[in-house]
Structure formats: C-alpha cells, structure tokens
Amino acid sequence: MSEPEKSEPAKKRRRKLAYHTATVRNAVLTKLPDALMGGRLKARHVAQPIELKELCFASANWPAAFDGLRIAHLSDIHFGHLLGEERLMQAVDAVRAVKADLIAITGDLVDLSAAEAPLLFERLALLKAQLGVFVVLGNHDHLDHPRQIVKCAREAGLTALVDESIRAGGRDGLLVAGIDWSKSIPGCADRLRKCGAGRADLFLAHNPKAFVAAEERGIPLTLSGHTHGGQVARRGNRRHNLVFTQRLSAGHYQRDDAHLYVTNGVGAWFPLRVNCPPEIAVIEMRKR
C-alpha cells in the first residue's frame, strides 16, 4: 500500500512543527542538563573514541567486477550543538585513513539547522574515494531546509541521491540507489520504486525499515542509520537496546543474498551512549 502524497503547505506545516519540537527537546534534554553539569555531559559524550568496525559480507548478487570493494559507511553526524567541527574532523580523518573505494553517508547530516550545512560540507568535501562519496538525507535533515542540504552536498562535490540511482564508475559501474527520508516500510518501498534502479547493487536509506523492500528485490547491500544502535544497549548484545520501534535496530542482518548494516552512527541528538560506541563501518563486499 502506498503512502498518500501530502500537499506542499501540509509538508511545510509538519516540518515547522517537527523543527519546534526538536528544538524544545534539544533545549530540555541536551542543552539544559549539559549547562547544569558545567559542560561535562557534552565533553564526556564527545570524548568517546569513534570505533572503526571492519566487516566482510558475501552475496551471490554482488557484481563480480566489484568483488572486494571496500565501502566506508558513516551516518548520523548530527552536526550542530553536540558534534562540532573538531569532532567532525576526527570522523573525516578516520574515513580518509581507511582509503575506501566508495564512501556512503546515510543521513542526519545536521542536527537541527540547515545553516550548519555549508561548514559541514566544506569539511566533508575532504573525503575522496575512487567511486565517489554518496549522501542521503535523514529525518533531522528534514527539520529545516532539506533542499538547502542537498544543494550544499552537491556544491561540495558529493553525490546526493534523492530517490534516484546512479552508476558509480561509469557505464558498467556499480548501481547505487539512495532514497530520501521516509518513516514507514511502504514509504521506503515507494521511494525505492521511484529510484527506477531495478535491482541496485548498493542501496542507501536512512531508515533501516527500507530493508524490507530491498530484501524482496535481492539487493545485495543496504546501508542505514537512524537508530544510533539504540544508544543504550546491553553489554555483549547490541540488539538489546532502547529502540523499541524498529525490528532492525543495530548491526548486521541477512536475508538470503541481501545484507543490511545498521550503524551506531557517529553523532547523536542526546548525549548518552552506553555499550553503544559511535562508529564508522568499513565493509568489504565479496561475490559469492
């Protein structure tokens, strides 16, 4: 079942309400407690090292020409109050050091305001990979001016995919599809259909719920974020976490030849992580 299309004024009203709700939430749950603790909450949060997670998945559907491709996956930067320029550069330097063939950034680039986008993308423009640097938007990117964020990404030389697909590396290149933020399984499926990619090789979607549509198509690799791994997880079992609205909340999932990786992300909108470190994933894809 498709989601009904909303009119432009209705979208604007919804975005305004979501922006104000997020601003109040940020003030009450993040800025106020941090101020009461003399800045220690934020300082402790950004002092956690960003974990580099090396993974290898194999799929019969992965194109043989790209056997062994290494993808750096980062997500949920939430550039803004909690994650500033210094922390951003730690992530950028970490990604540059792994020398990946392709870099994927799966949304929530800014925390609240599109005004953060020019500086963010000035720094993200330092990321280089042979097959390109790809970006999709998350729900936080929709709080303010999503089009402004897409514009900044493209001006910085990154490939922003908004319900579209592209061959990375030329005519016989890797087919990369990316969808804009959608909160539901049917919404993600609709957006994937709009990409017109047939069966993409690599699928980028902020919401892990998009994997339901991806696995039906046998897309070999889907990369997502959004959940932040639950931020608070049981030691030794990252699936036992505070995300109760997502079946696919953290880590690697596989259905036949379709893989999904849901990253903990780099940043957060709330300054608490327990057994759930910020991370950058480096995924090697093999042809099975």
Nearest to 150 by CA among 164, 129, 168: 164
Nearer to Fe ion, 187 or 220 (CB): 187
User: Judged by CB, which is closer to Fe ion: 108, or 116?
Assistant: 108
Please state, in angstroms and rounded to a whole number, the distance separating the CA atoms of residues 125 and 128. 8
- Give the separation between CA 54 and CA 92, rounded to whole angstroms: 17
Amino acid sitting at position 171:
R
Residue with smaller CB distance to Fe ion, 108 or 279: 108
Buried b or exposed e, range 215-230, using 16+ CB within 10 angstroms: bebebbbbbbbbbbbb
14, containing H or E segment = helix 8-26
Nearer to Fe ion (CB atom), residue 208 or residue 220? 208
Shortest Cβ distance from residue 138 to Fe ion (Å)? Answer: 6
CA 156, CA 103: separation in Å to the nearest integer?
Answer: 14
Does 141 bind Fe ion (CB under 5 A)? Our answer is no
Alpha-carbon span 176 to 40, nearest angstrom: 41
- Residue 108 or 201 having the CB closest to Fe ion: 108
Residue nearest to Fe ion (CB): 108
Q: What is the Cα–Cα distance from 261 to 199, expressed in whole angstroms?
A: 18
Residue closer to Fe ion (CB basis): 76 or 116: 76
| Residue placing its CB nearer to Fe ion in the complex, 76 or 190 | 76
**How far is residue 71 from each of residues 27, 105, 115, 225, 279, measured CA to CA in Å?**
36, 10, 29, 15, 14
Question: Alpha-carbon torsion 248, 142, 108, 257, what sign?
Answer: positive
Q: Which DSSP letter does residue 140 get? A: G
Least separation in angstroms between residue 245's CB and Fe ion is 14
Which range of residues in 76-84, 152-160, 169-177, 193-201 is near Fe ion by CB under 5 A?
Answer: 76-84
Nearer to Fe ion, 159 or 224 (CB): 224
What's the min distance (Å) between Cβ of 266 and Fe ion? 10
Q: Which of 240, 210, 238, 205 is nearest to 223 (CA)?
A: 205
Over the window 39 to 68, marking each residue x when it contacts Fe ion by CB under 5 A and - when it does not, the resulting string is: ------------------------------
x/- letters, 101..130, toward Fe ion (CB under 5 A): -------x----------------------
d(CA 66, CA 84): 35
* Stretch 213-232 residues interacting with Fe ion (CB under 5 A): none
- With CB under 5 A as the rule, give the number of residues binding Fe ion: 2
Smallest gap from residue 282 Cβ to Fe ion (A): 20
Interacting residues with Fe ion between 14 and 33 (CB under 5 A): none
Options 42, 57, 76, 146; binder of Fe ion; rule CB under 5 A? 76
Inter-residue contact 78 to 110 (CB < 8 Å): yes
Q: Which residues lie near Fe ion (CB under 5 A)? A: 76, 108
